[in-house]
């Protein structure tokens, strides 16, 4: 997912570079509909929903002959296996290339439904957290490293705090693999979306919808797919994708301790 935003942990130069990367998938991220209303997830449940970003219809970035949606699914499956080996319960929002929505289409409305269905699925599974798995890209092809989009501080402070803790835990494990840590990213809606208390809602739809349901959702941008150095160091073999998924799992498990 292409994105921008900061919480003070990202250097301004990096922010400017990354800001240039936003165009294509802004609509994927920012689609704005009021969140699903469902029962709150049990924070103690050790149930995790992993969300492989994009799908065959709502595609992500593609470089070096690889596609974001395919690599994200592989990373998610490795992560799920690693979590289950340690006794956690993990679900994927999609196991195949298809969109989770029952009536997938490529319209903006179809994308909205697809994103909404991912959070609805997590809530239906009583997930404690939802982790959306992505790879990044930069239109200027000058960025590298990992970052995690997190809920902002508005409306639900517990979701905010849990999201930050989860994100930091995952980033720490990715950094241990040698990936540059680009920090946490918070972003507020630029389209006027508000929380029920009138505060400015989150920019990313799945984070916004998650917060409305009391569910911490984070978006992990593992590395830049368009960066040759990131690609060759972390993305171009099955073993490297496994390492990413297992690092995610270690970070998630550490969050629950």
CB of 23 to Zn ion, least distance (A): 13
Q: Which is nearer to Zn ion, 22 or 36 (CB)?
A: 22
Binding mask 192-231 for Zn ion (x = CB under 5 A): ----------------------------------------
**Cα–Cα dist 243/249, whole Å:** 10
Instruction: Answer whether 31's CB lies under 8 Å from 107's CB.
Output: no
Burial of 34 (0-12, 13-18, 19+ CB in 10 A): middle
Binding residues for Zn ion, total number by CB under 5 A: 4
Q: Which is nearer to Zn ion, 59 or 124 (CB)?
A: 59
**How many angstroms separate the CA atoms of 241 and 239, rounded?**
5
Among positions 60, 104, 163, 251, the unique one binding Zn ion when judged by CB under 5 A: 60
Report which of 239, 237, 247, 85 is spatially closest to residue 174, judged by C-alpha positions: 247
Site mask, Zn ion, residues 135-154, x = CB under 5 A? --------------------
What 3-state DSSP class applies to 89? strand
Does 1 bind Zn ion (CB under 5 A)? Our answer is yes
- The nearer residue to Zn ion, 28 or 255, going by C-beta atoms, is 28
Greatest Cα-to-Cα distance within the chain, rounded to the nearest angstrom = 47
State which residue, 22 or 254, has the beta carbon closest to Zn ion.
Answer: 22
**Contacts to Zn ion from residues 99-138, by CB under 5 A:** 134
CA-nearest of 50, 52, 134, 56 to 99 is 56
Give the nearer residue to Zn ion in terms of CB position, either 53 or 145.
Answer: 53
Question: In the window 159-178, what residues touch Zn ion (CB under 5 A)?
Answer: none
Burial class of residue 43, CB neighbours in 10 A (0-12, 13-18, 19+):
middle
Question: What DSSP character marks residue 202?
Answer: B
Least distance from Zn ion to the Cβ atom of residue 30, Å: 13
Nearer to Zn ion, 60 or 183 (CB): 60
Query: Closest CB to Zn ion among 134 and 164?
Result: 134
In this chain, which residue has its C-beta nearest to Zn ion? 1
Binding to Zn ion, residues 24-53 (CB under 5 A): 53
Tokens of 161: 């705090």
In the complex, least distance from residue 143 CB atom to Zn ion, rounded to whole angstroms: 14
- State the Cα–Cα distance between residues 130 and 143, nearest whole angstrom: 26
Give which of 13, 12, 14, 22 is closest to 204, Cα–Cα.
22
Only one of the segments 11-19, 54-62, 74-82, 142-150 lies at the binding site for Zn ion (rule: CB under 5 A); that segment is 54-62
Q: How far apart, in whole angstroms, are the C-alpha atoms of residue 108 and residue 53?
A: 16
- DSSP three-state, residue 227: coil
Residues that bind Zn ion (CB under 5 A): 1, 53, 60, 134
């Amino acid at each position: 997912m292409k994105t921008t935003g900061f919480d003070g942990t990202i250097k301004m130069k990096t922010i400017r570079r990354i800001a240039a990367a936003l165009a294509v998938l802004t609509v994927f991220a920012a689609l704005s509909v009021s969140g699903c209303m469902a029962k709150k997830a049990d924070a103690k449940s050790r149930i995790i929903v992993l969300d492989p970003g994009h799908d065959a219809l709502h595609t992500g970035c593609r470089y070096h002959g690889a596609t974001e949606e395919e690599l994200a699914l592989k990373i998610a499956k490795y992560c799920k296996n690693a979590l289950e080996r340690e006794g956690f319960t993990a679900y994927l929002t999609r196991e195949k290339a298809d969109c989770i929505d029952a009536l997938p289409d490529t319209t903006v409305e179809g994308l909205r439904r697809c994103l909404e269905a991912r959070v609805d699925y997590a809530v239906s599974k009583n997930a404690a957290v939802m982790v959306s798995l992505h790879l990044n890209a930069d239109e200027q092809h000058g960025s590298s490293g990992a970052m995690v989009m997190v809920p902002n501080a508005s409306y639900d402070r517990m979701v905010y705090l849990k999201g930050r803790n989860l994100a930091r835990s995952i980033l720490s494990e990715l950094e241990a693999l040698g990936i540059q840590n680009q920090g946490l990213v918070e972003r507020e809606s630029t389209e006027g979306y508000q929380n029920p208390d009138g505060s400015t809602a989150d920019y990313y739809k799945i984070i916004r919808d998650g917060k409305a349901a009391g569910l911490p959702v984070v978006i992990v941008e593992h590395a830049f797919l368009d960066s040759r150095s990131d690609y060759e160091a972390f993305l171009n073999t099955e073993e490297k994708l496994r390492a990413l998924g297992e690092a995610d799992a270690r970070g998630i498990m550490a969050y629950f301790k």
